[in-house]
Each structure stands twice: as C-alpha cells, then as structure tokens.
C-alpha cells in the first residue's frame, strides 16, 4: 500500500508541473497519449497492491496447506528413486505375469490382423438389424434391433400361416411394428438361420457388403 501512495503522489506532482506549463492539462494528456500510460500504471499498481495485501492476510492460513501438498509430492516422487528388496519368487511371479500379458497382446493383434472378419459384428439380415460378438470362431450374443429406434426387438413364434410358422420380430416402442420375420418353427431355429447366414457371408467374403436376405 506504501507503493500505491507513492505512485499517486508522484502522479499529482506531475499533473501540477504540467498544469503550470499548459493551461489545459486534460487536453495535453489526450494529445500526447501519456494519460493512458499513467492511468494503466496506476491501475496495475493498485491491483498489485490489493493482491499483495490479500495474500498477506491469508498467507498464514494457506501456507500449511501448501507445505503439506509439497511434502506429499516430494514423498511420492521419492518412491521412484528408492531401492527395494524383494524375494526372488515375487520377482519371478511379476516377470511371468508381464510375459503372459505381452504374449496375449501379441496374439490378439495377430488374430485381428489374420482374421479381419472379427470386426464384422453388425449387419441387416432378413430385414432386421443384427448385432453379435465373436468368441474365438463362434458367434455369440446374437440379437436384433429396430432399424428405426435401435430398441431390442421381441419375438413371437406362435403365428401360423400357409407358408409355414415364421418367427416375427416386433418393436415395442414403434407401436408393436413387425420389423421382420424369419421362417422357422421356433426362436432357436431362427437364430441358427441368422448364424448360418453370417458364416456364409464370412466364407464368401461378402460380409463387407450390406445385403438384405429374405
């Protein structure tokens, strides 16, 4: 705050000197542009003084907190430079786990590269959007979704028709709209039909082409 008072006194003194040599101090400052420099200097000094005053008022309270965080950071950093003693069997287990992790990562990368169809996990079959996952070479978690709202579909295999007993797949969110049907007498037969079509597309390398079967 002493610095602020000194700056203000200096400013008043300069204004008085300029006033003696020029009858209109305001016009002089506006003409030379010096008023902006002095004003900015005063504002910066005042703001800095207030900040230092606030920091001094609260420093006693926040200093222990800052010191505590600094000590913890130094202790954590010191963990990386310390030397630890461990039994040989513990080191052997850690090394074995690391080796297994590396081998599994390499195998997974090679499998994805050698079997690009593993990224084939969605397609439209029999007029219905299907999604699934691969476990080894088997299709798992196979189910269908509404192409309009992406809700899971429900099925009805109780319908009877002259062409055969189809399995209907219905969206409950879209006013129970029948999204599609798969010929068969049960839901298991319908799902097997979808799996067969997926495997056929993989064998013939047609899985990248979005085709509608049925």
For residue 154, which phi and psi values (nearest 5 degrees)? -110, 165
Domain stop point among 42, 74, 106: 74
pLDDT for 133 equals 92
**What's the pLDDT score for residue 29?**
46
Query: Quick check: is 94 in a domain?
Result: no
* Domain-located, residue 23: yes
Q: What is the number of structural domains in the chain?
A: 2
CB-CB neighbours of 130 under 10 Å: 23
Same domain assignment for residues 126 and 55: no
pLDDT band of 130, cuts 50, 70, 90: very high
Over pLDDT 70: what percentage of the chain?
68
Q: Which of 55-59, 69-73, 151-155 has the highest mean pLDDT?
A: 151-155
Decide if 97 is inside a domain.
no
Does residue 210 form part of some domain? no
The pairing of beta strand 166-171 with beta strand 177-183: antiparallel
Examine residue 106 and state whether it is found in any structural domain, yes or no: no
The answer on pLDDT for 65 being more than 50 is yes
Residue 111 lies in a domain: no
Question: Do residues 123 and 210 lie in contact, with contact meaning Cβ atoms separated by under 8 Å?
Answer: yes
At which of 74, 100, 128 does a domain end? 74
pTM for the structure as a whole: 0.45
CA dist., res. 148 & res. 169, Å (int)? 13
Position 36 pLDDT exceeds 70: no
Q: Are residues 123 and 187 in the same domain?
A: yes
Domain holding 33, by residue range, is 2-74
pLDDT at residue 73 greater than cutoff 80 = yes
First-to-last CA distance in the chain?
86
Contacts of 165 (CB under 8 A, 6+ apart): 157, 159, 184, 185
Query: Would you say residue 133 lies in a domain?
Result: yes
159 with 175: CB under 8 angstroms?
no
Strand partners, 138: 135
Comparing CA positions, the residue from 126, 118, 147, 120 lying closest to residue 191 is 126
2-11, 157-166, 190-199, 205-214 — most confident range: 190-199
> 203-207: long-range contacts (C-beta < 8 A, 24 or more apart)?
207/117, 207/120, 207/123
Examine the domain organization and report whether 125 and 196 are in the same domain: yes
């Amino acid at each position: 705050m002493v610095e602020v008072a000194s700056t203000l006194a200096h400013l008043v003194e300069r204004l008085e000197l300029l006033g003696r040599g020029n009858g209109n101090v305001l016009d002089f400052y506006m003409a030379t542009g010096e008023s902006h420099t002095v004003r900015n200097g005063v504002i910066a000094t005042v703001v800095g003084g207030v900040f230092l005053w606030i920091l001094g008022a609260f420093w006693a309270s926040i200093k222990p907190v800052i010191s505590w965080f600094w000590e913890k950071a130094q202790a954590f950093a010191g963990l990386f430079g310390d030397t630890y003693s461990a039994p040989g069997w513990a080191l052997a287990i850690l090394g074995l786990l690391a080796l297994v992790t590396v081998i599994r990562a390499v195998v997974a990368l090679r499998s994805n590269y050698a079997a690009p169809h593993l990224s084939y996990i969605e397609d439209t079959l029999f007029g219905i959007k299907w999604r699934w996952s691969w476990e080894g070479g088997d299709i798992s978690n196979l189910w269908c979704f509404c192409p309009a709202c992406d809700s899971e579909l429900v099925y009805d295999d109780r319908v009877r028709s002259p062409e055969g007993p189809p399995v209907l797949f219905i969206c409950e969110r879209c006013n129970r709209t029948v999204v599609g049907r798969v010929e068969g007498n049960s839901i298991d037969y319908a799902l097997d039909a979808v799996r067969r079509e997926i495997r056929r597309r993989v064998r013939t390398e047609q899985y990248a082409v979005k085709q509608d079967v049925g």
